[in-house]
Structure 1
């Protein structure tokens, strides 16, 4: 198939309109997928609004897509027509640099974001490199799995890299990213402390698996956690009381940022030095990381909390996301036919 239907953003902050697009011949290492469901991530909104200054238009957004393979290029490996797969934030990488060859493809300097200079999943069909087209476990809830491919792997990876089942883990922000972080950390066996600015989310955070819940606006409450957390994952994109959060870390503890905080972070040096603490960040994950995450999610029956819209209501769905009212991920169900 070369001609597809897609919801297109013609310019910065524009409403999306349905159009037909010619994809051209399929590349030798590409896979084509008929999209069944595609999550809306806050990154889609950021690219629509050009918040990061890297957007290009016209844009077909959507990078949490699941569906069935409809075509494979002549050099594509390991996938077959009819197989159910997912595509996340990246749809390709060079495959020959050191990060790619060492299995850290997400760190490739030429990694191709699915929604920047590439056509994403708010469409009837989309394409990606075969290595970035991730097979879905058979026992995974497909209709709910799209957000795992971006938000899910973003919070799963630091837990897999830096936590142990005996760790005390904090998750800052109980939203689209953070609620999945709580679920993953709890399933991993960690003691989980959730930080949220909304007291209305306290009970909900406990239902996701949090043992403790603290207001992220209450520096005094945070100070009572001094020295207790082995890993603290920040999923929000706003400035916080960084010294207070740093004090909550145990010796050798790590403050890990996955939320795109645009303002510089004011971090005192002495607590880092004398507590031998670390500050780090990470993007999503490699194709292998994503496969491991999906297998873990299927094994532990982890799915995001979602709201569904038909894809034809995509503009209404974006308005709900931008309003901050989504609880907690929005998924668009394909309805082109």
Structure 2
């Protein structure tokens, strides 16, 4: 077995540097994937900096990897060598806990994130077979990586919360996640509004799928939207004036966050009681859900907007993302 050559943070907050390790013998239900491209996500930055408190070092980030299977374990039946697959946030699930048995393997009680297992900023990544999801025919594999985290993160709430084509949907934060959410909502058949603080992007947001663009910093504009939306999806990881957004919901409307806001959201109870509104969260998705999302993307020509960096310039790519200059996702290529 040859070593995996990767880029790793040796400690929290460190720059990534070349790092090689021996993954050992391949397990019965594991596959090795030769990485051709890997998306760069804000979650990578959070994990590198140990913002969430469960980082393990040396850490090889990367959880939006695309590549070709080069080896499979003895018990792998659903995949074959030479197949092009993608790998997202999850690398391993136990397959016997309640979430796994109920089809929500991404919530496995002992699951291992790809970053903890050693991620995709490397020439090869090893994962449990169920988490290597085949790329559909007709999909551009090079740009598909962001769908395996950003894409599934905004797609899952549409399924879990039973969005209807007659619904009025708003998206807060049009970045790496939000620009995909607009495309999904438009293809779903919904009336779509983009909340933004950058009205200079109005034309671009409409090209991505928004029917309307609203300036969330304009109090008068927010008041005019009172009671308009059935569903609001927030992709931001900062605190906002949540009561003003709740006021734009219709009766029984939902505000769902997929952004990891690091402070209490401060939701007044009366904002929920009046109109039977609710606030919730959503994570990623099961392998089956990921596969269905990829089919949906192929059917409706949904694609991430991507900027490419060579793998050896990983630190430049991370700095570009952290600066807020990325439009809208960054992908490393081998």
Q: TM-score band, normalised by the shorter chain?
A: over 0.9
1:82-132 deviation digits (Å, cap 9, x = unpaired): 00100000111110011111111112121211112x110000100111111
1:48-78 deviation digits (Å, cap 9, x = unpaired): 1111111111011100001010111111230
1:231 alignment partner in structure 2: 231
1:131-164 deviation digits (Å, cap 9, x = unpaired): 1111110111111100000000000111222211
1:24-45 deviation digits (Å, cap 9, x = unpaired): 1111111110001000000001
1:158 alignment partner in structure 2: 157
1:279 alignment partner in structure 2: 279
CA distance in 1, matches of 2:11, 2:186: 41
CA distance in 2, matches of 1:274, 1:20: 57
- Unaligned runs of at least 5 residues, structure 1: none
CA distance in 1, matches of 2:59, 2:139: 30
Alignment of 1:1-337 (within 5 A): 1-116=1-116, 118-162=117-161, 163-334=163-334
Farther-moved stretch of structure 1 (154-163 vs 247-256): 154-163
Aligned-residue Cα RMSD (Å) equals 1.0
CA drift at 1:219? 3.2
- Unaligned runs of at least 5 residues, structure 2: none
Farther-moved stretch of structure 1 (194-203 vs 63-72): 194-203
SS at match of 1:103: coil
1:233-291 deviation digits (Å, cap 9, x = unpaired): 00000111111100111111100000000110111112311311111101111111100
Aligned residue pairs total: 333
1:287-330 deviation digits (Å, cap 9, x = unpaired): 11100100000111111111001111111111101111111100
Report if aligned partners of 1:168, 1:192 keep a CA contact under 8 Å in 2.
yes
SS at match of 1:24: coil
SS at match of 2:122: coil
Greater than 4 Å deviation, 4+ residue runs: none
CA distance in 1, matches of 2:27, 2:218: 53
